[in-house]
Chain A
Amino acid sequence: MPRPLTLLPALVSALVALWFAGFIPEIAAGEVLTWSRPWIPGAGIDFAFLLDGLSLLFALMVTGIGAIIFLYSAVYFKGHPKLTMLLVLLSLFAISMLGLVLADDAITLFVFWEGTTITSFLLVGFDHEKEKARDNALQALIVTGLGGLALLAGLILLGAEAGTFRLSEMNAQGELIKASALYLPILILVFLGAFTKSAQFPFHFWLPGAMAAPTPVSAYLHSATMVKAGIYLLARLTPALGGTDVWFWTLTIVGAVTMVWTSILALKQTDLKLMLAYTTVMALGALTMFLGGGTRYAAMTVAVFLIVHALYKAALFLTVGLIDKGTGTREVNQLGGLARVMPVTLTIAMLAALSMAGFPPFIGFIGKELIYEASLGVVTEPLFVATAALLANANMVAAAGLVAVAPFFGKQCQTPKTPADPTPWLWVGPALLAVLGLTFGVIPSLIDSSIVTPVVQSIIPGEKPVELKIWHGVNLPLMLSLLTFGLGFALFYGRAQIRSSLQSENFTGGLDANKTYFLWLKAFKSFAAWTARTVQGGQMTVYLRTAFVVLGLLIWGAHLSSRDPFNPSAEFPDLIPLTICLLIAVSAAVVLRTGSRLYGLTALGVVGAGIAILFVFYSAIDVAITQLLVEMLVVLILAVALVKLPTMPREVTFRAGDAVIASALGLGVAFVLAAVVMKPFDPRITEFFNAASYPEAFGRNVVNVILVDFRALDTLGEVAVVLIAAISAVAALTAGKRALAVKKEGDK
């Protein structure tokens, strides 16, 4: 029994799932529910949400499977020090994913999309003590993050072209968008986002890497929900972007290549979890391919296969977790003969795997029949699509055998732990999923018009799908199914040879997407290191010179590009302030040239005091007082610190280069300031402050009223900065005292 509090997320998720299930009748009746709140009204961006068939299916998967995953995680990681962290991250992910599939606003969708990317990064890197987990988390983040950026650009272009950020309104203007000149760029960018997220070729490599995540996380994110976000996006935007030749060919080819290639790679794996990861990519490829098709059967296939895959794949992932927990290993070569000791696990694995392999009467069979039906119905290249589907499905049968048959039968192997069935808390979730797969297969009317039809209508508005049936009579799809089983069994029995030939080096011809990624990453890193070395040589005077040169260039650029005439007024400056200015200048020159700290400090004091007198002279009483007080404190703290700092050597050499930079900067500042004061003065703000100070803010000292009332937010920010400066200075100095203590200890 896990701690009750850790079951809270599961309970909440289940309740939300039930709440969503309550909408099924309404949605099935063809209604679309919306809710929105203004967010950035100026840019036409709202927090807008929409619930239609497609959203509802995904929402049910996110919350329903989510509830099972939360329960499973709470038990699987019972007593783990980071269990709370895991549950929090999973909850954040579930919220992001739910927002993603419910969003009706493109920007809202993007924000939640990135939310899933970030939580996925944190969850893949959950065991961050392991270097592998860190690398793979980063890989998932880089690949999906770059795709996310492309998606953002695509959505903004799409919004600009459609004149709205509402996805539902975009979908209503499909013809306009498809005819626009920006259609191709939009499509490429959206595809990049969807393909990276859903791990389509050539971005398929990150998903197996993401298996570094804990098993329940993989079952949830990298199988049932997050990786389907790309599929969701493509389905969601099908009315707006779909139906063209580019759409069909890109999705069909990318989907088919992904599907076949990864189903082959799946047979190569020895780690059960990795094998499941590759079959997940295969399923995603199939979904992508059928989204390209655009026919009634294709849309039905997408809808049904989404359900099929979510049910059996989550169940199988969790089963692998059970095997891992029970025996201490996931390596297929170390497992065998578990049927007697783990009968419950065997049952669940069998139920899920039969659905995966597409045996009747499981829902997987209906899904597979639909796949063949839809493949043959593809208008342009039915043979290509059907062959790809046949190959992938045969591999799927073999993979199902590898997961559900190989570990349980044959010779019992020595495993790290003595195998036993886990507690019911752990197996109830996957069991429920597996049983659902059977139930929906036997009674397809449960999901037919209530779930599948609304999804199809979201993808192809107004389409009426055919009824789901388990038995269609003897036809071509059934023949293909039989052929699939035959091929699949052959592959399963020849698995050892196939694996060894697949694992040989020259099989891929040296092409490996993962290796390419790491090569690219290495090149990028060394480029970054080179840039850092070049720009940041480590010499602080170089940094300062660069900063001053850039500042000078900016100031001179601004000065030279302005067309203001130079017309100094003829008035002769007052004698007293002029003398004070001279005094200040001479004192600054003393600071510049002196080799003595004491002279420098004194001269600085004279500069500050002179400026204070200027303030007094020109009616700035408060400023003058402040300047004097601060000047005292400046001299005080400098004197305190300089007592201890070593004397500064007198500058022997004249630094001509620095002198040029400094003079150019000073001249530029002087010229710009002169240009400013020669312009006519705009007194409006001052007049407002003067007029409002007493009647409205009740203060006779206008300066102080500005500080504490009119511009109090500035003041608040400034005192906060002073406090932060104090905290930082105190921290640095106290750390210094500690360092001294360490040093002393070392000397002893």
Chain B
Amino acid sequence: MNSTILKTATRLLLPIFLIASILILWRGHNQPGGGFIGGLMAVIGVALYAIAASIDEARRRLRVDPLVLAGVGLACSVLGGLWGSAAGGAFLQGVWPFYEYVSGEGTKGWPIGSVLLFDTGVYLTVLGAVCAIIFALEEAVFAEREGSR
């Protein structure tokens, strides 16, 4: 697509989308959001950018191959699970080293732990996998269009 306005807009929008998606991932434990929604938000940002600019451009901005990103994500999720095993619990059991629940007062401390790592893994997997599909599909269609010319 050759729209200068869209191109410029999406170039600015992409970081906003990514930051917003990370915020949504972060707040997902207490409010609507989480790894799936955050990941999908980020995909929409990247996909918009890919349409406005080009797939190659989007790939460059992502820096890593989306499938690698997805693989890293899955590894994060598994690691988050193993953290639970390592802490003496079951696989995927939640571990919050700096966070605790005080009866009558609510939660205290920093909400960082194995569950957040797991959800980050979900975010990265969704982002990487869906981007990979979209990129591959668009490239295949583009190649076919070139080929039939």
Secondary structure at the B interface, as helix, strand, loop or mixed, is helix
Within 8 A of B (CB), among A707-724: 707-709, 712-713, 715-716, 719-720, 722-723
Q: Which of A694, A700, A719 contacts B122 (CB 8 A)?
A: A719
Residue in contact with B118 in the complex, picked from A699, A712, A729, CB distance below 8 Å = A712
- Chain B positions within 8 Å of A729 at CB level: 132-133, 136-137
**Which of A12-20, A155-163, A490-498, A639-647 binds B?**
A639-647
| B6–chain A nearest beta-carbon distance, Å | 15
Whether, in the assembled complex, A626 has its beta carbon less than 8 Å from a beta carbon of chain B, the answer is yes
Number of interface residues of A (CB under 8 A): 48
B130 contacts which of A633, A720, A737 (Cβ < 8 Å)? Answer: A633
Residue in B37, B77, B139 whose beta carbon sits within 8 Å of that of A626 in the complex: B37
Asked whether, in the complex, the Cβ of A695 is within 8 Å of the Cβ of B118, the reply is no
A730 touches B133 (CB 8 A): yes
Residues of A within 8 A of B133 (CB): 637, 725-726, 729-730
List of B residues within 8 angstroms of A636 by Cβ: 47, 134
Whole-angstrom distance between the Cβ of A453 and the nearest chain B Cβ = 52
Are B139's CB and A733's CB within 8 A? yes
Contact A701 B31 (CB under 8 A): yes
CB pair B44–A698 under 8 Å, yes or no, is no
Q: Check A719–B31 contact: CB distance below 8 A.
A: no
The proximity string for B residues 106-121 relative to A, scoring 1 for CB distances below 8 Å and 0 otherwise, is 1100010001001101
- Residue from the list A630, A705, A708, A737 in contact with B35, Cβ < 8 A: A708
Q: Is the CB of A701 within 8 A of B29?
A: yes
Instruction: Assess the A726–B129 pair: CB atoms within 8 A.
Output: yes
Interface residues in A605-661 (C-beta closer than 8 Å to B): 621-622, 625-626, 629-630, 632-633, 636-637, 640-641, 643-644
| Bound-state Cα–Cα, A700 to B32, Å | 10
CB-contact partner of B125 in A697, A707, A722, under 8 A = A722
Most buried by B among A621, A726, A727: A726
The distance in angstroms between the C-alpha atoms of A645 and B121, with both chains bound, is: 35
Q: Which A-chain residue is minimally distant from B116 (CB atoms)?
A: A708
One of A640, A720, A734 near B138 (C-beta < 8 A): A640
Is residue A744 contacting chain B, with contact meaning CB distance below 8 A? yes
- B22 interface residue, CB < 8 Å from A? no
* A622:B34 contact, CB within 8 angstroms: yes
- Complex alpha-carbon distance, A744 and B41, angstroms: 39
Do B36 and A712 have beta carbons less than 8 Å apart?
no
Question: Within 8 Å CB of A727, what residues of B?
Answer: 67, 132
CB-based contact A698/B132 at 8 Å: no
Q: Is the CB of A740 within 8 A of B147?
A: yes
The one of A643, A694, A698, A707 that contacts B36, using a Cβ cutoff of 8 Å: A707
Q: Which residue of B lies closest to A707 (CB)?
A: B34
Q: A622-B37, A698-B96, A723-B74 are in contact. Are A643 and B32 (CB under 8 A)?
A: no
For residue B106, which residues in chain A have a CB less than 8 angstroms away from its CB? 694
Which of A640, A730, A737 contacts B143 (CB under 8 A)?
A737
The answer, yes or no, to whether A512 is at the interface (CB within 8 Å) is no
Distance in angstroms between the alpha carbons of A621 and B35 in the assembled complex: 15
Q: Does B141 contact A (CB under 8 A)?
A: yes
Q: A726 contacts B128, CB within 8 Å?
A: yes
Whether B16 sits at the interface, judged by CB under 8 Å, is: no
Closest CB in chain A relative to B14 CB, distance in Å: 16
Q: Which 8 A-B pairs have the closest CB atoms?
A: A726-B129, A629-B40, A700-B30, A733-B140, A704-B34, A712-B92, A699-B29, A733-B136
Could you list some 16 contacts between A and B, CB below 8 A? A629-B37, A630-B40, A633-B134, A640-B138, A704-B34, A708-B119, A709-B92, A713-B92, A719-B122, A720-B74, A722-B125, A723-B71, A726-B128, A726-B129, A726-B133, A734-B136
